Amino acid sequence: MGVTLLADEVYVLRDKVRDQVEVYNVINYRLQRRLTVPTNGIFTDMTSCEHYRCVYIAICNDKCIHRLGVQGAVTHWAVNDIPRGLSVNTAHNVLVTCGVVRKIKEFSSHGDLLRELTLPRDVVNPWHARQTRNGEFIVCHGDAVHRVCKISADGRHVIKSHGGQRDISQYNAPGCLAVDDNEFVFVADFNNRRVTLLSPTLDYIRQVVLPEDLKWGPDRLCLDNHRRRLYVTDKEFKDGEYTAGHVVVFSV
């Protein structure tokens, strides 16, 4: 249900009752330990913060975020809307994308609500958001229209977009984003079974992961900027639920 990096370790989130977080060495991918998140909720995403040395996990039905320290200490706070995508900005705050209400909520590391932005009306069903160094947002969304947008820092205006048609030539469920140090954007396009690379101005560059590289579909992304590795959760969606999955690592 998620993958992230923290302190030269890979954290993998699995949908089970306990030991949901598995921690692997980033060099040889050997399992180091397992951590338990005390919840019966449904996971939607996971991200990490090197500054505060912790992992954040979004719980859909509980409408909350769990904060998991590297030693296993867990706290949580309410979002009061259904959280979907998570990311951390340059101020080390947590950005929570709430798709149903079309909002991005910004929290401190300990759960203080700092601000919330309502996205433009044509950004329907947002899945994930990343904030650029100049304060703008990259958002992927999809309902009748599936695309990736660059949105102004106040959340009010779409500056640039890529996509728009729900088909094989553009996007069909672009559910997650990764952004490198130069602000190139990786887009997980689940139903088209690929990962697309866009320029900082959202111009198409190439496909970095192709359907033949995966067994099912790419759902979550994590980019190791230092080693230039892209971690992709490759998941099977069958009969309305996720039934299988693994993490695939690509050099990019």
Q: What is the pLDDT of residues 220-252, one digit of tens each?
A: 999 999 999 999 999 998 888 888 999 999 999
Is residue 143 very low, low, confident or very high in pLDDT (cuts 50, 70, 90)? confident
Full-model pTM: 0.95
Structural domains in the chain? 121-252 (2.120.10.30)
Q: Per-residue confidence at 54, pLDDT binned at 50, 70, 90? A: very high
Strand partners, 223: 230
pLDDT for 120: 95
69 close to 21: Cβ distance less than 8 angstroms: no
Q: Check pLDDT > 70 for residue 207.
A: yes
What rounded mean pLDDT belongs to the chain? 94
Which is nearest to 175 in space by CA: 99, 76, 242, 241? 99
3-state secondary structure the chain: CEEEEECCEEEEECCCCCCCEEEEECCCCCEEEEECCCCCCCEEEEEEECCCCEEEEEECCCCEEEEEECCCCEEEEECCCCCCEEEECCCCCEEEEECCCCEEEEECCCCCEEEEEECCCCCCCEEEEEECCCCCEEEEEECCCEEEEEECCCCCCEEEEEECCECCCCECCEEEEEECCCCCEEEEECCCCEEEEECCCCCEEEEEECHHHCCCEEEEEEEECCCCEEEEEEEEEECCEEEEEEEEEEEC
Could you tell me which residue, 241 or 31, shows the higher pLDDT? 31
25 CA to centre of own chain:
21
What confidence tens digit (pLDDT) does each residue in 15-29 have?
A: 888 889 999 999 999
Q: Report the pLDDT averaged over residues 42-58.
A: 96
Closest CA to 90 of 136, 30, 27, 44: 136
